[in-house]
Structure 1
Amino acid sequence: MKKIFLLIMIVALLVPCSDLLAQCSLCTKTAQQLGEGPAKGLNNGILMLAFTPLALGAFLGWRWWKSQRAVSDN
């Protein structure tokens, strides 16, 4: 299980984030008006702001799962 998790994490880190689109329809329209460079910056900013709560939620979920597994083993 640990090997699969490690493999998934390595693959996730190697996937380039610049090609991801993380904009709502309103942000997309605003970015189209700004031009190519600022639109990429806006998209990267949205991805960076979304990463922290998602990573925190994943960490807390992992800790909960691990503690529940330890309780059921005893």
Structure 2
Amino acid sequence: MLFVLFALLVADFYSAQCVMCKAVGEESANQGGIGSGLNQGIFFLMAVPYILLGIAGIVLWKHFNKEGG
């Protein structure tokens, strides 16, 4: 509950930051400069949770599918 309240209170601040990232990304995406690095950063930030969930899934699957257990 506290997290939701905090998220609602700072939503405007983060919204302003998204506009800045969008402007920089659109301006330099075709040139391969900051926009390209921004896209790679977003990719890595989004990939990490999925990798961790995949590892956790494999560990759980191996744990529950042990032979003789």
TM-score with structure 1 length normalisation? 0.50
| Cα distance in structure 2, aligned partners of 1:73 and 1:66 | 13
Aligned pairs (5 A) from 1:1-74: 30=22, 31-32=25-26, 34-35=27-28, 36=31, 37-70=33-66, 73-74=68-69
Q: What is the RMSD computed on CA atoms of the aligned residues?
A: 2.4
Q: Distance in 1 between matches of 2:52 and 2:60?
A: 12
Structure 1 stretches of 4+ moved >2 Å: none
How many residues align structurally?
46
Percent of residue pairs bearing the same amino acid type: 26
User: Is there any run of 5+ residues in structure 2 with no aligned partner, and where?
Assistant: 1-17
Unaligned runs of 5+ in 1: 1-25
Shift of 1:73: 4.5
Higher alpha-carbon Rg: 2
